Chain A
Amino acid sequence: MLNCTPKELKERTGGVINPAKTCQPLGAMYAALGIHGCLPHSHGSQGCCSYHRMHLTRHFREPIMASTSSFTEGASVFGGGANLKTAIKNVFTIYNPEIMAVHTTCLSETIGDDLPTIIRTAEIPEGKVVIHANTPSYQGSHITGFSNMTKGMVNYLAEATTETKKEQVNIIPGFVNPGDMREIKRILKIMGIKTILFPDTSGVVDSPMTGEYAMYPRGGTQLKDLVDTGNSKLTVALGSYASADAANQLERKCQVPAVVLRTPIGVKATDQLLMTLINKFTVDIPVELEEERGQLVDIMTDTHFHFHGKKVAIFGDPDIMLAMTEFVLSLGMKPIHVLTGTPGSGGALGTALGNFEKEIQELLQEAGVPGKVKAGGDLFDLHQWIKNEPVDLLIGNTYGKYIARAEDIPFVRLGFPILDRSVHSYLPVVSYKGAMRLIEMISNALLDRADRDAKDEDFELVM
């Protein structure tokens, strides 16, 4: 019924059919929510703000607060400076956040509003902070926006104030769920390393029910900690697309060495994170984590025959795709289609690092798996690929359900947004624990399908 996609491949140059990305401001808004006491502010039409809040609300099932400059025709002709100044005044008078994080939109970028000047000349109450990031919607994707806002935190807030660097690490988690951020903090706590995780949306978009509504929940990176990132001994950026820019900027601004790692999904990427940390800090791998790693490897050996040789298509955000490709390869699966909607390289502002297609191809070649890879693709591409070369499993965000239904393939929901299932944002996919969860999700999907398809005589109790 939703199978409108033709099989025959043709070159397209007129835009996107069924996007695998969304625009920068959404990522910037999400990043800004990861600062404690922060009200994100959308400098554009009120529709933008409304859409981003709606989209984030549907994914997290939490109230998402953000204000807007409410552009009118006048603002579009004469510039949005007056709107932003009024907005800054109103926001601090009424909503009283610690910090206001302004991001631009395609409209305010196109008319050329000069944010630094507007902010410098705005009335900001004593002790309050306004930061900004340029996030033109016509460059990159929501991942670029997340990266730019995170970099904006460094630009405005990080300071090197101590002679010697402190025994602490900055970790930039990338565009992941609060459940992942909690998990990263848990690991670092077990290792006994003082950590500044930023942005940190845990406790903000997964806040507990109390019967009262708090506009600024308890979570989020504290302002003083964001300042203190300049004194850390190391910054670990998890994911080159969402996190590297901020880490590199911190190195330039405050001489904090930056290491860019893969999002820690699966054994290898998690090992890399832990090894990086023990090499830089005088700690050992705690027994607890050793045990978790052992359990994960045990699960992988117990179940490897379910996965081996299964063909899989994966789509989503680039950092997650790189990590997931590596992970499913480690399970013996064949990721023959890997696609992200985010462009492989950024424009003038979206200076995302790396080369998505090349990196994925390297992983595939190393494993001897031929596959298709595309950056800046859409789900029409992916659907066509699957029609021409079918897969046993599809992994991606909620929008994959149309393809999964049309082609009747098992589907595991991963990434952003997930609009039709709940609890996903509370539980991690990162670290050894997260990998266990992923294995459970993937094997449940495959085995439920095997049960569904089995004839009576082949229907098995023990699998």
Chain B
Amino acid sequence: MQKSVLQDTVFHEREDSIITKGKQKKQLTCDTASVAGCVSQRACVYCGARVVLNPVTDAIHLVHGPIGCASYTWDIRGSLSSGSELYRNSFSTDLKEKDVIFGGEKKLARAIDELVAEYPTKVVFVYATCIVGVIGDDLEAVCKAASAKHQIEVIPVQSSGFAGNKAAGYRAACDALLRLIKPSQKKNKPKASTVNYLGDFNLAGEVWIIKDYLKQIGIELNVAFTGDSHYEALKNATTASLNIIQCAGSMIYLAQRMEELYAIPYMNISFLGLEDTAASLRRIVDSFGDPEMKLCLEELLVRETSKVKPTLDWYRERLQGKKAAIYVGGGFKAISLIKQFREIGIDVVMIGTQTGRQEEYQTINELVDEGTVILDDANPSELEKFMVEKGAHLLVGGVKERPLAYKLGIAFIDHNHDRKHPLSGFVGAVNLAKEVATTLCSPVWQYV
């Protein structure tokens, strides 16, 4: 059997992006560009912008470029909507050779005209792709003209693929959102006990779970960024009294800007796993300083915990001692997963992210056991090498990692776009345990 060539070698340039806890003193290098010639699992600026904005349900998401960028992102993220389904269509200017030569501005203007006529909406996001930056289309001008013509908001998203990595795309999306939520003349009145929930995209309905918890303790979810959000709700975003952030990687910038511009304080929270969910809810309630709320919360925690605890215990008995490898998009998720796996008796032996930040890697380093491998922007060969070396039984990852794990006879769960069950909150903790058990305890591995 042919062995992978990377079993013993790691890119020289990549050495600084991989550490083993306890073995090296050095700091992990992250947030750098991928090496040319690498089989990177990373995506581009456009991808980052698209995943953040796409859950805005009643917007026209128009991709300005050749067809591919629109095709690959058509309804791939399982963001659920309680209203409009418009965002699940795929709109592209489908630029052709002559557009590349003569410019695509006119075609873009026509596309906006036609789409707005077919689908009445109040907001259009126009995404720039790689070549838009190169052929020099003035997106800003076309959007401005279209906005005036149709009396709706047409917002350019500066997401040319080459201009950084996925994190730069998050920022481009946040900039677009900031334009959208800017209040008009009459200032929005702030509402007490109201939070915006940033960095949850309502995969499998996760926003709804959190919304319900908050409601039970007397806090109103103003709007989520951007899961199941829509124009009207986003327009009221600046009325919230607090911003809470689940996915900091994509949304910390938006929170910081909203604090500067609208004096809305923010806090990082995480609703993954019992420990983090309870701690996060307590911190939110503490910030409001309302004793009644506090009482409500403690009741909720007892109620919800007692509901799921026996089930989780049952799973822990079965999963105790298993080893997990984690490779996910952002750092916040990685951190929560370490704790969440601990709750069900699973050790994390390898952990990495595509776009984790320095401070997140520090937290990860503090949380994991000695000998755990930590890596940034890993390629498939590195994932293989360390999963095999560390004897992982399970990989947590996204769509590209799944078949790799399977080929090695390693169980897998998707903690990305392809997740099928909500993994947030108390109910999410049970779902995760169930998914882990479903894959780890399947009889198919006996045949490998």
Contact = CB atoms under 8 A, between A and B. Distances in A.
B90 A18 contact: yes
Given A1-B85, A83-B36, A94 B11 contact: yes
Given A15-B107, A110-B131, A68 B38 contact: yes
Contacts of B1: 210, 212, 214
Given A6-B118, A15-B94, A57-B399, A69 B36 contact: yes
A36 to B, nearest CB: 11
Contacts of B85: 1-2, 4
A244 interface: no
Contacts of B94: 15-16, 19
A52 to B, nearest CB: 8
Given A19-B67, A21-B71, A89-B37, A72 B448 contact: no
Interface in B66-107: 66-74, 85-86, 88-97, 99-100, 107
Interface string A33-56: 000000101001111111111110
Contacts of A6: 118
A66 interface: yes
Interface in A177-209: 209
B71 A23 contact: yes
Q: Say what secondary structure dominates the interface of chain A.
A: loop
Interface residues of B, number: 84
Interface in B98-120: 99-100, 107-115, 117-119
A73 interface: yes
B120 to A, nearest CB: 11
Contacts of A443: none
Contact of B162 (A14, A51, A58, A76): A76
B409 interface: yes
A23 B399 CA distance: 20
B208 interface: no
A168 interface: no
A13 B96 CA distance: 12
Contact-size category for A:
35 or more
A427 interface: no
A94 B5 contact: yes
A348 interface: yes
Given A61-B403, A215-B5, A399-B74, A23 B67 contact: yes
Interface of B: 1-6, 9, 11, 33-47, 62, 65-74, 85-86, 88-97, 99-100, 107-115, 117-119, 129-131, 133-135, 161-165, 380-381, 384, 399-400, 402-404, 406-409, 448
14 contacts: A22-B68, A46-B34, A46-B40, A51-B72, A63-B400, A70-B40, A76-B162, A86-B37, A89-B37, A105-B130, A136-B97, A137-B66, A212-B407, A213-B384
Interface of A: 1-2, 4, 6, 10, 12-19, 21-23, 25-26, 39, 41, 44-55, 57-58, 61-73, 75-76, 83-84, 86-91, 94-96, 105-107, 110-111, 136-139, 141, 209-216, 218, 341, 347-348, 399, 402
List 3 A-B pairs, minimum CB-CB distance, nearest first: A47-B44, A23-B68, A14-B111
